[in-house]
Chain A
């Protein structure tokens, strides 16, 4: 496989052809923030947190969906990018009802830690406070759309890893929601295999195991790439 040479934050690095910018950047020890990206799943480019500046391109590019190219000069943490990332996390915090204090994933949440990482001590935008009923009809799991960031990690996990495609998106814009089958209560789904991988992939407390209280959800999103890696070695 041919090797490429890129400059990332002033450092010359090499990468294999076919890698995305995100893979190259993370592979070189730079902790580029992401939210909708989860290793092993197809990249989505929706959260826009992994945006980087590429010399010669007018606008920042989402690293997770930008292929690395020979000679690219990439900046990952300019003041402008930091400002945009902060704005995006603020927009997410204001969009739904992310009440950290009473959340099953308090202390382990990706959105919560991103907010702290970007120094967000308050949100300047108006809270939209949408009314989104919780689905507790499933025997083992619950879904609180009020805590959802619409990253679609669960949708992709269900489709690409479990192969069930129980979860999908419905609605448009700010009214988008994760939908179970054709908008059924989760407990009535005939396609859900109750595998629980969606719960593991969720970065926030939107999907959770029942009977967990504040801060008790144990997250293991690394399970998804591990399952895929295991499959690869055993299916060969």
Chain B
């Protein structure tokens, strides 16, 4: 039992400032999910019931940019507890749609969105700008796309499971 556990990759996924579309795309990998289930342990994920980010994680796929103090904390924690970090999708790589707020005034946006109902203690504080993940922590791999096509995710994960260095071909590299 113990020997078997060490062969399986401990994988986590994280959802920061994004729309969860990248997670949907991961679920969209169809029958590959079965292969994945054989090869990995999903130790923390919005898709799994494991509230704490554990230590000793082999691979973490992070969706979304870093837009709030809470995002920042979780990104730092994930980095410190994981061997390999993957930026999953355009939000994590470029800031993408959440970063559309960057040129605008932060306070004005909050007023616009929440109006008088704004209760600062109820929501995590917004950072001055939504940052790409790699501006905050070291990132080992990038899977661009909004959302990244399931094929791109499959290509990267297959290589990692096999213990190879993942290499996305040019046609799988475009943003958007």
CB within 8 Å of B: which residues of A? 93, 97-103, 106-107, 109, 112-113, 115-117, 119-124, 126-127, 129-132, 146
Contacts and interface: CB of A to CB of B under 8 A. Distances in A.
B142 to A, nearest CB: 4
Given A98-B175, A102-B97, A117-B170, 9 more contacts: A93-B94, A100-B176, A101-B97, A101-B146, A106-B176, A115-B175, A120-B173, A121-B168, A123-B94
Contact of A127 (B102, B104, B139): B102
Interface of B: 87, 90, 93-97, 99-100, 102-104, 129, 132, 134-135, 139, 142-144, 146, 168, 170-171, 173-176
B94 A127 contact: yes
State the majority secondary structure of interface residues on A. Answer: loop
Contact of B90 (A101, A113, A126, A132): A101
B118 to A, nearest CB: 23
Contact of B174 (A100, A122, A131): A100
B91 to A, nearest CB: 9
Contacts of B175: 98, 100-101, 112, 115-116
Contacts of A100: 90, 146, 174-176
Contact of A99 (B100, B135, B170, B173): B100
Contact of A121 (B95, B99, B173, B176): B173
A112 B174 contact: yes
Contacts of A120: 173
Closest 6 interchain pairs by CB? A100-B176, A101-B146, A131-B103, A129-B102, A121-B142, A116-B174
